[in-house]
């Protein structure tokens, strides 16, 4: 009966393609919109993703998320280093400074200031040059995407990407490019520039408290959450494990921005459109084949057998539509992975998309099954 069931499904090519198209569209929209949503949320803690070496982030206790920066006194660094269980602690600057390019344009930068002595907190992947080059006079390292987009230099009648040796003016201070790096794209599209912590403080507008974060490495065997609580209890500062700080940052954006509503609306719309198109087409397909189901009943097929035939048809088109939709969404994400396109497709999202498509198929099958079960075998002789 499985062969007969699938032959019935594919016998009318136009209806078969319509069902597959509806489910593919629904799967594509659900997977892609949810993938973009997760990609954007992952960008809110991109700096932490690039700094996996730090177990704990220490900050002012009023900080609510990664970009909510309040300075601390420099002496807090020594207090944190004195807490039992701390392997090392280094200062880390993160802020926004304005740069003036050679042609007079202004561009806001995300500046990362890393520890002068150890260079902990540096770029995760170097494309050209070395992190140690930051110790040279006025040296900066620029992310490769920012160097080829927002920081391009005028040359003749056109523009060219930033090169090693180019001079950029940051907050009226001279800075020379010594390398390029690849970083996780941030929530904003501003270029990212790395420099030493001391240089970042020299370039930044002067304030009474200039230390935004302290990166902490726990000693081997020390529980990170217990150490964070200990640092908070002794110093009074905010201290979070990197996992907790990521969650804190994402929660802030979920509560205080319209991102969840906008992408939730798109994913829901895809689910409803897919349900309407696939459900209606599958129901019409069943109505057109009632005479065949009646024939099977007249030949002795039970409702259980007919139920299995319809479920097989529903899950066959569901699996095909989900595979095509998720495959197209994955292909789009893969082709645009090196640009500004925010997309993250973990296996949990694929499972959720598969569950949503299965729900659409079950709904469409349930409507069709009722019609077949109430069918009288005698209609085949009318």
Q: What is the DSSP string of 119-174?
A: -TT--SEEEES-GGGGGSTTEEEEEHHHHHTTT-EEETTEEE---TT-EEEETTEE
Cα separation, 162 vs 142, in Å, equals: 9
Contact of 116 with 197, CB cutoff 8 Å: yes
Cα separation, 94 vs 207, in Å, equals: 14
Cα separation, 306 vs 294, in Å, equals: 10
pLDDT at res. 193: 95
Token pair 């997760």 is found at 38
Q: How many C-alpha atoms does 120 have within 13 Å on its Cβ side?
A: 16
Contact of 114 with 196, CB cutoff 8 Å: yes
Contact of 189 with 96, CB cutoff 8 Å: no
Q: DSSP 3-state assignment of 323?
A: helix
Other C-beta atoms lying within 10 Å of the C-beta of residue 298: 14
Series of mean pLDDT values for 10-residue runs along the chain (382 residues): 74 79 81 84 88 92 89 92 94 92 87 93 92 93 90 83 91 93 86 94 89 94 94 94 92 84 72 70 72 76 80 84 90 81 85 82 75 66 58
pLDDT at res. 338: 72
294 to 50, 53, 314: CA distances (angstroms): 63, 67, 19
pLDDT at res. 111: 94
Cα separation, 177 vs 133, in Å, equals: 10
Among the residues of 194-339, which ranges form H helices?
Answer: 197-203, 224-235, 242-256, 259-288, 290-298, 303-335
Cα separation, 170 vs 167, in Å, equals: 10
Cα separation, 64 vs 57, in Å, equals: 13
pLDDT at res. 267: 67
> 279 is written with which tokens?
């459900």
Burial degree of 308 (CB within 10 A; 0-12, 13-18, 19+): middle
Predicted TM-score (pTM) of this structure: 0.78
pLDDT at res. 278: 66
Q: How many C-alpha atoms does 283 have within 13 Å on its Cβ side?
A: 14
Contacts of 374 (CB under 8 A, 6+ apart): none
pLDDT at res. 249: 92
Token pair 């403080």 is found at 201
Q: What is the DSSP string of 25-64?
A: HHHHHHHHHHHHHHHHHHHTTHHHHH-TT-SEEEE-TT--
pLDDT at res. 377: 63
- Give the total residue count for the chain: 382
């Amino acid at each position: 009966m499985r062969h007969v069931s699938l032959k019935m499904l594919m016998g009318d090519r136009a209806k078969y393609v319509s069902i597959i198209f509806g489910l593919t569209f629904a799967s594509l929209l659900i997977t892609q919109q949810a993938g973009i949503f997760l990609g954007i949320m992952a960008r809110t803690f991109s700096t932490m993703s690039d700094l996996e070496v730090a177990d704990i982030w220490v900050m002012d206790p009023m900080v609510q998320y990664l970009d909510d920066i309040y300075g601390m006194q420099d002496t807090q660094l020594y207090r944190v280093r004195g807490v039992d269980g701390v392997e090392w602690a280094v200062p880390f600057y993160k802020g926004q400074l304005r740069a003036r390019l050679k042609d007079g344009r202004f561009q806001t930068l995300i500046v990362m200031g890393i520890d002068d002595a150890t260079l902990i907190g540096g770029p995760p992947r170097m494309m050209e040059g070395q992190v140690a080059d930051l110790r040279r006079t006025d040296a900066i390292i620029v992310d490769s995407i920012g160097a080829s987009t927002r920081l391009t230099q005028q040359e003749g009648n056109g523009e060219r990407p930033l090169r090693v040796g180019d001079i950029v003016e940051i907050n009226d201070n001279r800075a020379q490019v010594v390398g390029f790096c690849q970083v996780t794209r941030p929530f904003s599209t501003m270029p990212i520039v790395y420099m030493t912590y001391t240089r970042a403080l020299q370039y930044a507008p002067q304030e009474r408290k200039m230390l935004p974060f302290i990166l902490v490495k726990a000693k081997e065997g020390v529980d990170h959450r217990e150490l964070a609580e200990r640092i908070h209890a002794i110093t009074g500062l905010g201290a979070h494990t990197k996992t907790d700080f990521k969650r804190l940052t994402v929660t802030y954006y979920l509560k205080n921005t319209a991102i969840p509503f906008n992408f939730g609306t798109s994913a829901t719309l895809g689910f409803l459109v897919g349900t309407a198109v696939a459900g209606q087409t599958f129901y019409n397909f069943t109505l057109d084949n009632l005479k065949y189901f009646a024939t099977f009943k007249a030949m002795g097929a039970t409702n259980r057998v007919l139920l299995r035939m319809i479920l097989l048809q529903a899950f066959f088109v569901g699996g095909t539509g989900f595979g095509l939709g998720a495959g197209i969404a994955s292909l789009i994400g893969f082709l645009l992975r090196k640009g500004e396109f925010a997309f993250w497709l973990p296996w949990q999202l694929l499972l959720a998309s598969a569950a949503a498509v299965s729900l659409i198929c079950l709904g469409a099958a349930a409507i069709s099954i009722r019609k077949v079960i109430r069918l009288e075998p005698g209609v085949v002789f009318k």
